[in-house]
Amino acid sequence: MDSQKLNKIIVVGDSCEDLFFKVDRIPAVGETLDAQGSSKSFGGKGANQAVGVARLGYQVEMLSQLGNDSQGRQLKALFEEYGVQTYNMKLLDSVDTGIGFILQLRSGNNVVISVGGANTAYDKDMTTFDSEWVQAIQSSKILLLQRLIPDYVNLVAAKIAKEAGVTVILDVGGMQSHVLPELIKFVDYISPNETEVARMLGLQLTGDKAELDQELERFIRKYPHVKVVLKLGEKGCSYLWLENDEIKSISKVAYSFSDYPELQLADTAGAGDSYMAGFACKLLDECSIEECMEYGNKCGFLCVSKAGTMNAVPSKEEIEKTFSK
Q: How far is CA 63 from the centre of its chain?
A: 14
Alpha-carbon torsion, ordered 27, 32, 38, 41, to 10 deg: 70
**CA dist., res. 278 & res. 275, Å (int):** 5
**CA dist., res. 312 & res. 82, Å (int):** 12
The pLDDT of residue 208: 72
CB hemisphere CA count around 186 (13 angstroms): 24
Look at residue 300 and tell me if it is in a domain.
Answer: yes
Residue of 96, 151, 171, 273 with catalytic role: 273
Instruction: Say if CB 112 and CB 100 are below 8 A apart.
Output: yes
**Residues contacting 319, CB < 8 A, separation 6+:** 56, 295, 298, 299, 302
**pLDDT class of 239 with cuts at 50, 70, 90:** very high
pLDDT surpassing 80 at residue 204: no
β-strand partners of 62: 11
- CA dihedral for 75, 77, 81, 87, sign (positive or negative): positive
Q: What's the total number of domains in the chain? A: 1
pTM for this prediction: 0.91
Q: Which of 243, 242, 241, 265 is CA-nearest to residue 254?
A: 265
Domain residue limits at 271: 8-319
The pLDDT of residue 272: 92
**pLDDT class of 107 with cuts at 50, 70, 90:** confident
Look at residue 48 and tell me if it is in a domain.
Answer: yes
**CA dist., res. 31 & res. 34, Å (int):** 10
Look at residue 260 and tell me if it is in a domain.
Answer: yes
Look at residue 2 and tell me if it is in a domain.
Answer: no
Known catalytic membership, residue 69: no
Q: Which residues are annotated as a binding site?
A: 16-18, 44-48, 193, 231-236, 267, 269, 272-273, 297, 303, 306, 308
Look at residue 1 and tell me if it is in a domain.
Answer: no
Q: How far is CA 250 from the centre of its chain?
A: 21
pLDDT surpassing 80 at residue 325: no
The CATH number of whichever domain residue 215 belongs to comes to 3.40.1190.20
Rg (the chain; Cα; Å): 19
Q: Which residues are annotated as a binding site for K(+)?
A: 267, 269, 303, 306, 308
Query: For 160-171, how does the pLDDT look when each residue is reduced to its tens digit (9 = 90+)?
Result: 999 999 999 999
Which has more confidence, 212 or 191? 191
Instruction: Say if CB 236 and CB 252 are below 8 A apart.
Output: yes
**pLDDT class of 106 with cuts at 50, 70, 90:** confident
The pLDDT of residue 46: 95
**CA dist., res. 218 & res. 120, Å (int):** 32
Mean pLDDT of 68-79: 96
Q: Which residues are annotated as a binding site for substrate?
A: 16-18, 44-48, 273
Mean pLDDT of 208-232: 89
Look at residue 324 and tell me if it is in a domain.
Answer: no
